[in-house]
């Protein structure tokens, strides 16, 4: 399957390093980078004047020997990979790190890094596991505490006005990413799933104010492009846990399966939902975060999650779903089997894949996807 040529390598370079050249450029100009590891940390709060959010990844990690001594090897390899790079000093240039209590594995990562003190500013948000008025009030308090600590430690303005500006700019970035995502709904999309994931990771791991213009001009270019992918065998929706490695999607697509949507915690659904610009920004960010029920950490939302995937299948006209989950991930471990049953009951072919963070066996993955496409008669 051909990969359209329209995506500048500039974006590829942005996703190859744990902290990319744009982050360094922004820090050289006096801004401070705040690393975060979960979609329950509201980025607009980290993107006020003077600081900027960087979603942390562990590109290029090969093994986790050091991290295993702190976390053990039955903890998900996403957290171990980030820990390994942290111990290697890959994130030492960060100004701070904000965690969310997304799961026990992430919590253990925070406990260990907070104990080892790699950075001056380390904070964790205690995110409720359910939606509702009380949960939103709790989350708002958590965000108020974080806003105060950021203002005190970095001398930045995290007041209503500053947050309202940040939310507006955040929505501008989301609108560009939604536009790029919509192009994948064409019969012959001008970009592949691999390329789209690269743009998503570039957008979340670079300073917003530096990455927004190149993304906007690329979108305008692709929107008018007649070049598209038309030699694929099937349209696939990728669903599941963290999948921040475009290389993983590249292997899936090397079989002829085109990834036309990604309902993962690092994908387009539901991450690109705009944030309301009405009302108290912290209240809005609190309810917006909790409305993200895509992660199985959110209790009593299985039905809503299954519905969200069914709607994504319809929206993207996917022929099948690839459900990828991180090995040892408890939250997805519980959720995956019943989800597969629901989708199959709806007549949707599903391939369930369990993976490690670092790509280990491309051949095996290719064989699995190949067999899946054949089982769909493609
Ligand atoms: S993949 Fe699962 S275990 Fe790992 S950090 Fe995410 S939710 Fe937690």
Tell me, yes or no, if the pTM score tops 0.85. yes
For residue 8, the model assigns a pLDDT of 87
* Top mutation candidate among 332, 353, 355, 358 for ligand 1, by most atoms within 8 Å of CB: 332
pLDDT greater than 70 at residue 3: no
Q: Ligand 1 centroid to 322 CA: how many Å? A: 18
Q: Ligand 1 centroid to 360 CA: how many Å? A: 18
Which pLDDT band holds residue 5 (cuts at 50, 70, 90)? low
Q: What percent of the chain has pLDDT over 90?
A: 91
Backbone phi, psi, residue 236, to 5°: -120, 145
Ligand 1 pocket, 39 CB below 6 A? no
Give the model confidence (pLDDT) of 185-200 as tens digits.
999 999 999 999 999 9
Six token digits for residue 91 = 């994130």
- Taking the CA atoms of 346, 352, 357 and 363 in sequence, report the sign of the dihedral they define: negative
Ligand 1 pocket, 326 CB below 6 A? yes
The mean pLDDT value for 57-74 works out to 93
pLDDT greater than 80 at residue 140: yes
CA dihedral 294, 299, 305, 306 (to 10 degrees): 150
Give the model confidence (pLDDT) of 153-190 as tens digits.
999 999 999 999 999 999 999 999 999 999 999 999 99
Cα–Cα distance, 172 to 178 (Å, whole number) = 10
Give the model confidence (pLDDT) of 256-300 as tens digits.
999 999 999 999 988 899 999 999 999 999 999 999 988 999 999
* Top mutation candidate among 39, 106, 292 for ligand 1, by most atoms within 8 Å of CB: 106
Dihedral class, residue 117 (left if φ above 0, else alpha if ψ from -120 to 50, else beta): left
Ligand 1 pocket, 127 CB below 6 A? no
* Top mutation candidate among 76, 244, 296 for ligand 1, by most atoms within 8 Å of CB: 76
The mean pLDDT value for 5-25 works out to 91
For residue 74, the tally of other CB atoms under 10 A from its CB is 10
């Amino acid at each position: 399957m051909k990969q359209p040529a329209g995506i500048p390598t500039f974006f590829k370079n942005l996703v190859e390093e744990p902290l990319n050249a744009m982050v360094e450029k922004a820090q050289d100009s006096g801004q401070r980078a705040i690393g975060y590891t979960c979609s329950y940390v509201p980025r607009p709060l980290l993107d006020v004047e003077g600081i900027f959010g960087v979603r942390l990844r562990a590109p290029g990690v090969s093994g986790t020997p050091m991290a295993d001594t702190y976390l053990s090897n039955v903890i998900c390899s996403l957290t171990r990979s980030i820990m390994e790079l942290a111990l290697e000093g890959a994130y030492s240039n960060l100004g701070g790190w904000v965690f969310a209590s997304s799961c026990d594995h992430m919590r253990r990562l925070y406990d260990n890094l907070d104990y080892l003190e790699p950075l001056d500013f380390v904070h964790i948000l205690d995110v409720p596991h359910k939606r509702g008025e009380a949960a939103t009030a709790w989350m708002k308090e958590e965000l108020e505490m974080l806003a105060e600590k950021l203002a005190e430690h970095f001398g930045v303005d995290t007041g209503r006005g500053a947050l309202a500006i940040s939310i507006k700019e955040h929505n501008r970035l989301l609108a560009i990413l939604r536009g790029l995502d919509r192009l994948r709904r064409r019969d012959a999309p001008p970009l592949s799933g691999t390329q789209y994931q690269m743009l998503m990771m570039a957008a979340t791991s670079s300073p917003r104010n530096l990455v927004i213009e190149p993304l906007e001009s690329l979108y305008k270019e692709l929107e008018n492009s007649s070049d598209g992918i038309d030699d694929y065998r099937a349209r696939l929706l990728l669903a599941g846990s963290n999948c921040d490695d475009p290389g993983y999607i590249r292997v899936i697509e090397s079989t002829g399966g085109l990834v036309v949507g990604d309902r993962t915690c690092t994908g387009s659904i539901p991450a690109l939902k705009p944030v309301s610009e009405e009302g108290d920004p912290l209240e809005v960010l609190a309810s917006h975060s909790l409305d993200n029920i895509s992660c199985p950490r959110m209790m009593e939302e299985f039905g809503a999650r299954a519905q969200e995937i069914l709607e994504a299948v319809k929206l993207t006209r996917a022929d099948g779903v690839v459900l990828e989950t991180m090995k040892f991930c408890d939250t997805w471990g519980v959720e995956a089997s019943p989800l597969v049953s629901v989708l199959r009951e709806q007549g949707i072919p599903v391939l369930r894949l369990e993976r490690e963070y670092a790509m280990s066996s491309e051949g095996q993955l290719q064989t699995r996807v190949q067999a899946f496409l054949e089982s769909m008669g493609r």
